[in-house]
Amino acid sequence: MPLGKSLSKTASYMKYKRILLKLSGEALMGDQNYGIDINRVAQYAKDIKEIHDKGMEVAIVIGGGNIYRGLSAEKAGMDRVQADYMGMLATVINSMALQDALEKRAIKTRLLTAIKMEQICEPFIRRRAVRHLEKGRVVIFGAGTGNPYFTTDTAASLRAIEINADVVLKGTRVDGIYTADPLKDPTATRFDEITFQDVYNRGLNVMDMTAFTLCQENKLPIIVFDMNKPGNLAALANGEPVGTLVRE
């Protein structure tokens, strides 16, 4: 059977056709205090390959907090705009690391950034990004939105809407959304599902407000899940109840 037909048949069993996976920069540190844990990146690449090989179209946004955080630099006295641009460059470093890990597993990728860096990536053009996805390439979006004062959460929401993703999968180090911080409050309980309005009413921290509002206004569901548990991403792709679903 031709490869295209095989992938199409497999994809029909997946819950989502196109996803936007948001990864935090801090998650790439693994057990380190700084930088990139190559073993953690390799695990992420393996999990992404599993859903990609089944025909899912995958786009990714990665933060840069493991290398540089603009807000922290601002608090230390640096100009906010300068600090945010430095943070955008950190996201490109992380994106390149994940791109390398994916390509070592024979996955074709494209890195598109909101800041032009022709020697290492393509500039972000919406139609080009969608075409890459349609051709079966994993697309990584770097440099946030290309604007200061916006987080990579906002970049993830914006890119997901632009490429018509079915869902934003926010991979974190916790297994969902809780009534309180489970690391500080042992009585905190996890939600299986919650509405956008309930998140507002309870004052829960899922994404920054700009990113969260973008998803709500465009009726784009969010799933918060533990990316560090192997197999979770594939389970989500198959529609299994992993993490917490935020919906209308």
What are the tens digits of pLDDT across the range 137-164?
999 999 999 999 999 999 999 999 999 9
Residues of each annotated binding site: 22-25, 64-65, 69, 84, 145-152, 172, 178, 181
Percentage above 70 pLDDT, the chain: 94
Instruction: Determine the longest span between alpha carbons in the chain, in angstroms.
Output: 61
Range of the domain at 243: 3-247
Residue 81 is predicted with a pLDDT of: 93
**73 falls in which pLDDT band (50, 70, 90)?**
confident
Quick one: CA dihedral 60, 66, 70, 71, positive or negative?
Answer: positive
pLDDT value at 92 more than 90: yes
pLDDT > 50? residue 3: no
| Average pLDDT score over residue span 90-113 | 97
Write the pLDDT tens digit of every residue in 160-190: 999 999 999 999 888 999 999 888 898 999 9
Count how many domains the chain has: 1
Burial class (CB in 10 A: 0-12, 13-18, 19+), 190: middle
Tell me what pLDDT residue 6 has.
40
Q: List the one residue out of 76, 74, 99 whose CA is nearest residue 86.
A: 74
Mean pLDDT (the chain) is 91
Q: What is the pLDDT, as a whole number, of residue 11? A: 45
Please give the annotated binding residues for ATP, written as ranges: 22-25, 65, 69, 172, 178, 181
pLDDT top residue among 29 and 170: 170
Is a pLDDT exceeding 80 seen at residue 239? yes
Question: What is the percentage of the chain residues whose pLDDT exceeds 90?
Answer: 79
Q: Which two tokens stand for residue 15?
A: 């819950």
Q: Which ranges of the chain would DSSP assign to H, the alpha helix?
A: 3-11, 38-52, 70-75, 80-103, 126-134, 152-162, 196-202, 209-217, 232-237
pLDDT tens digits, residue range 206-228?
Answer: 999 999 999 999 999 999 999 99
CA distance linking residue 227 with residue 41, whole number of Å: 11
Domain of 185, CATH number, reads 3.40.1160.10
Contact 141, 124 (CB under 8 A): yes
Helix or strand holding residue 8 (H, E): helix 3-11
Is pLDDT at 53 greater than 60 in this prediction?
yes
Q: Pick out the residues of the known binding site for UMP.
A: 64, 84, 145-152
**Higher-confidence position of 11 and 90:** 90
Q: pTM for the complete prediction?
A: 0.91
Give residue 72's pLDDT band: very low, low, confident or very high (50, 70, 90): confident
